[in-house]
Amino acid sequence: AERKLLPALYHRQMEGQFSEPTRIIGASRASLSHEEYRNFAADALKEHLKSGEFNEAEVEKFTARLFYVSVDAKSEQGWDDLKKLLDEGKERTRAFYLAVGPAIFGDISEKIRDHKLITRNTRIVVEKPIGRDLASATELNDTIGKVFREE
């Protein structure tokens, strides 16, 4: 997230691709406050943006969009907190970007479903690699497909 994803999202903002209510919610097992996550993101942008891309005012505007929830893919920890945060903007498009190992794509997909985080405007994005070979990729696709419809 710090090297590629956060800078990519920052660039989307710089290009005017986020509407004002857009929020970005980081989630992992680490225990961070919203403010600690915002500081982490600002430091990551400082370190990984190309020379001349870092704009203090834009970074401040970007980090104001950031929120953080500690969740565990293998337990119930944090999922209700994530639901509460997401429910503040029920009409917004939700994009779950899974920057995790493929072994837990299914677990996370099921938690998203079980905690009723899927709306008609929900999308899921998974980072490659998706499996080790065709058979494992097909299995992962089927697992995720049980939760999310492909359109």
The domain limits of the chain are 1-70, 75-151
Whole-angstrom distance, CA of residue 130 vs CA of residue 105: 9
Global confidence as pTM: 0.86
Residue range 58-87: mean pLDDT, rounded: 95
The residue type found at 15 is E
- Amino acid 49: pLDDT: 94
Which option is the CATH number for 1-70: 3.30.1160.10, 3.40.50.720, 3.40.50.300, 3.20.20.20? Answer: 3.40.50.720
The tens digit of pLDDT for each residue in 78-103 reads 999 999 999 987 788 899 998 888 88
Taking each helix axis from N to C end, the angle separating 5-14 and 56-63, rounded to the nearest 10 degrees, works out to 110
CATH architecture of 75-151: 3-Layer(aba) Sandwich (3.40)
| Residue closest to 8 by CA, chosen among 70, 86, 85, 97 | 97
Give the C-alpha separation, 87 to 126, whole Å.
23
* pLDDT score for 151: 67
* Bridge partner list, 70: 28
| Per-residue pLDDT at 54 exceeds 70 | yes
1-70 matches 75-151 in fold: yes
Residue pLDDT, tens place only, 4-44: 999 999 999 999 999 888 999 999 999 999 999 999 999 99
Name the more confident of 44 and 143: 44
pLDDT in tens, 121-136: 898 888 877 778 888 8
Q: Which of 88, 81, 142, 148 is nearest to 115 (CA)?
A: 81
